Structure 1
Amino acid sequence: MLLVANIDKLGVLTYLAEKLIDVSINTRALIRNITLLAFFSSMLLTNDVAILSLMPIYLTITKKVPDMNHKLTGAVLLIIAANLGSSFFPFGNPQNLFLFSYYSLAAGTFFNWAFLLLLVSFVFLFLSFFWIKKSPIPNQEEPLPSIDQRNIIYLSLIGLLILIGVFDLLPYSIVIPIAILLLGIYDSSSLKKVDYRLLATFIFFFIAVGNFSQLETISLLIKKQFTTSSATFFGSIAVSQVISNVPAAILIAPFTAQTKALFFGVNVGGLGTIIASLANLIGFKIYKQYYPNQSKQFLLMFSLINLIFLIGFIVLFYFIL
């Protein structure tokens, strides 16, 4: 979280977004570029940070182009892209980091699954762009922000150190203190900007779900429901719609050996309802800040597009699993 905060503060995403906007000749190209940026950047910077960084940029542009077509569609696709793209690396979202650690997955196994999900996600997103009408957008005259290359190198090396810990090449007890120290030296003020409430939320999720799963009636029920790959896949998607995909992964993992099905289930399960993923709520909150009178329209469009994506993934992965 410290690393991501400092990368965001450096303005890397803003630079890339402005560059893509500069080369966008119409609204379809603009939405495609900002969506794909969210897709690929979320792999390294997590889905939440990609949305927090790119959604305000996108919505600022829509303010400059009042008659922009498919404004709502673009916002929804950006959120979907961040959710799907973040599934490629174990650290891209919390549910994958948990599953990677809990099941002690080999890197090769994880990336085999993740690449398949990434490929299907890219194809679905690419096809969705054809529904967006082309209309011209005015040229942006604002200069591109400058970025200190030395800082990029410094933060990249810290990111590499954290990756070494994620893949168990060095223990977390060594990697994390060193990373915190180096990031504190880089910018001590970032220590105050960490969302400690979010960290506490995950801790309490682990405690609450752990205690919940100790109840004999609940544990027997879950064990019966998640014995096959199809049941685990569909069940984890269904649970994600109600309590979101991170706690769904934490709840189900102790009761099933269907790791592959659970991986696809909780990642696909971030699609669907507005509460299926924390990133969905973050995107909705930002949109409301820019367009407070369009909450109902956003929720309707969000539900419709997410349902289409979710059905597509379910049909495809049902035959794969």
Structure 2
Amino acid sequence: MTDSSPARANAPATSTAPSHSASSAADEAPGGGNGLLWVLVAVAVLFAVLRPRAPMDYLRLVDWQTVGALAGLLAITQGVEKSGMLQATAQRLLGRVTDLRSLAMLLTAGAAVLSALVTNDVSLFLLVPLTRVLATQADLSLARLVVLQALAVNAGSALTPIGNPQNLYLWHRSGESFVGFMGMMAPTVAIMLFWLFVAVWVLVPRTAITLRPATEAPAVQPRLLTLAGVLFVAFVVALERHWLVAGLALVFGAFLVFYPRVLKGVDWALLAIIALMFVDLRQLAELPAVAHLLQHAPIAEGWRAYLAAIVASQFISNVPAAILLDGPVRDLPALAAGVSVGGFGCVLGSLANLIALRLARLPHGLREFHKISIPFLIVCALSALWLRMG
């Protein structure tokens, strides 16, 4: 596609753009495909055969705080979506933004900024459903936009101590001030954001947004929207005070009593995927061969520590990688930079990647994700390595 003036056009009823077929398929498969779930189940069964353990030990491997927080946020997101507010917001946005590249820049920049302020996961819960609704109203490449948002939250959240779980852990370990930690991460984040916006410029053409034939938008339900907003604030407060069970009881109880249809849309398979990730990846990290490798590998500092964090993130995700390498790696800035860059590449690099793809309900999202994310990892990793060695 080539650049054109940002003129608005209406799509014919027979439009067969790739994004249209993708979004239609997503409607037919709300879960976005469960291939990864069955892979994780198979790995869990293999570990159970080769390294059996007591049933309760498997439950202890799961970070229930994370799984519970996701469950509550998934339910609240469904409430916002079913309130009709996303559809109304999408219509207003399409009325003001006229070309694809501008829209992609806006959504990507918004994801990066929000992730630094309200964590990467929460920013995805706010923006990916909106993007999915946008794709139902106009011919947009939903998969590409969502992948760019996943990259954006991984990059933006790396700036602040509260942007993601690994930063929070490393910040407490570092003894740095809030601003001091941001100063430590700023050069790496600047590189990631630079390449992020280059990727948007290259991957998204400046062509006019083509609107689809108008369909009757659902009426906004202010009561449901208000309930979802109140529950969101209450649930965040409950999480901060470690009242997870009470927060979940409030969220699910309120929806069950007043809007039970909201709970039908919760992606329970995503919660199973996250729980099984903890079970599988923590057992992988416990393997004697892994422990021996960490004890004898020359990864204490410098570029070796940085690359070790990137590689480990590809296999066990960046949060477990930060915790696992905190002992053998003594160079905390290199470790922090490595696990941040390591969120790119493989979908397992960051929990945010999985959340973005599941929220978008993309049946072939993994393929599109890796087509963009793996080259992006290589470019960012080499650029940040050059910065550290320069």
> Same fold, TM exceeding 0.5?
yes
Shift of 1:99: 1.0
Shift of 1:46: 1.9
Supply the AA of the counterpart residue of 2:150.
I
Contact preservation (8 Å) 1:225, 1:235: no
Task: Give the Cα–Cα distance (whole angstroms) in 1 for the partners of residues 344 and 323 of structure 2.
Answer: 18
- In structure 2, the residue matched to 1:52 is 125
* More relative contact order, 1 or 2 (CA 8 Å, 6+ apart): 2
Contact preservation (8 Å) 1:242, 1:275: yes
Aligned-pair Cα RMSD in Å: 4.2
Q: 1:181-205 deviations in whole A, cap 9, x for unaligned?
A: 9999999859x99x99899889989
Contact preservation (8 Å) 2:120, 2:153: yes
Shift of 1:208: 6.5
Contact preservation (8 Å) 1:17, 1:37: no
Shift of 1:311: 1.9
- Structure 1 residues 264, 229: CA separation in 2 closer, same or farther (over 3 Å shift)? same
Q: Given the alignment, which residue of 255, 271, 274 partners 2:344?
A: 271
Task: Give the Cα–Cα distance (whole angstroms) in 2 for the partners of residues 144 and 182 of structure 1.
Answer: 26
Contact preservation (8 Å) 2:160, 2:178: no
Supply the AA of the counterpart residue of 2:102.
A
- Structure 1 residues 240, 146: CA separation in 2 closer, same or farther (over 3 Å shift)? same
Task: Give the Cα–Cα distance (whole angstroms) in 2 for the partners of residues 311 and 71 of structure 1.
Answer: 24
Q: Given the alignment, which residue of 305, 309, 316 partners 2:372?
A: 305
- In structure 2, the residue matched to 1:168 is none
Supply the AA of the counterpart residue of 1:278.
L
Q: 1:125-152 deviations in whole A, cap 9, x for unaligned?
A: 2222222121223399969997999x99
Q: How many residues align?
A: 299
| Identity score, percent | 24
TM-score between the two structures when normalised by the length of structure 1 = 0.71
Asked if 1:115 is matched to 2:186, the reply is: yes
Q: 1:89-116 deviations in whole A, cap 9, x for unaligned?
A: 2222111111112333332331112322
Written as runs of structure 1 = structure 2, the 5 A alignment for 1:90-129 is 90-129=161-200
Written as runs of structure 1 = structure 2, the 5 A alignment for 1:131-150 is 131=202, 132-133=204-205, 134-138=207-211
- In structure 2, the residue matched to 1:280 is 353
Supply the AA of the counterpart residue of 1:314.
A
- Structure 1 residues 99, 18: CA separation in 2 closer, same or farther (over 3 Å shift)? farther
- In structure 2, the residue matched to 1:318 is 385
TM-score between the two structures when normalised by the length of structure 2 = 0.60
SS in structure 1 at match of 2:115: helix
Q: Structure 1 stretch 231-240 or stretch 43-52: which is displaced more?
A: 43-52
Task: Give the Cα–Cα distance (whole angstroms) in 1 for the partners of residues 194 and 220 of structure 2.
Answer: 31
Structure 2 gap segments, 5+ residues each: 1-68, 256-262
Contact preservation (8 Å) 1:26, 1:136: yes
Written as runs of structure 1 = structure 2, the 5 A alignment for 1:1-321 is 1=69, 20-66=93-139, 68=140, 70-131=141-202, 132-133=204-205, 134-138=207-211, 189=254, 217-221=292-296, 224-287=297-360, 289=361, 292=363, 295=364, 298-321=365-388
Contact preservation (8 Å) 2:188, 2:384: no
